[in-house]
Amino acid sequence: MSGDAPGEPSLTSRVGTWFAGVSLCTKSVLVVCGGTYIWSLLVGFDALYMVCFRPEISLLLVQG
């Protein structure tokens, strides 16, 4: 069904409903990874996979 049908919830409403049903742990991981992604875009750090999957290596690179 297309998104233009009357009476169908918007994408924002559907995402909000899904996010409300997700556990706190999953929400935390999504928020941290999303925030890290935005931060990496702003500062030019292009190794996001290292931040989410190997944070100890990322910390070593940042610290020295």
Which pLDDT tens digit goes with each residue over 5-63?
A: 678 889 899 988 988 998 998 888 888 888 888 887 888 877 666 666 676 766 677 77
Q: Which domain holds residue 37?
A: 23-63
The answer to whether residue 16 sits within a structural domain is no
Residue 36 counted as domain residue: yes
Number of domains in the chain: 1
> Per the domain annotation, does 51 fall within a domain?
yes
Task: Report if residue 2 sits inside a domain.
Answer: no
Q: Are 27 and 19 in contact (CB under 8 A)?
A: yes
With H, G, I as helix, E, B as strand and everything else as coil, classify residue 43: helix
Q: Are 3 and 11 in contact (CB under 8 A)?
A: yes
Q: Is the pTM of this model over 0.85?
A: no
* Contacts (Cβ under 8 Å, ≥6 apart) of 22: 30
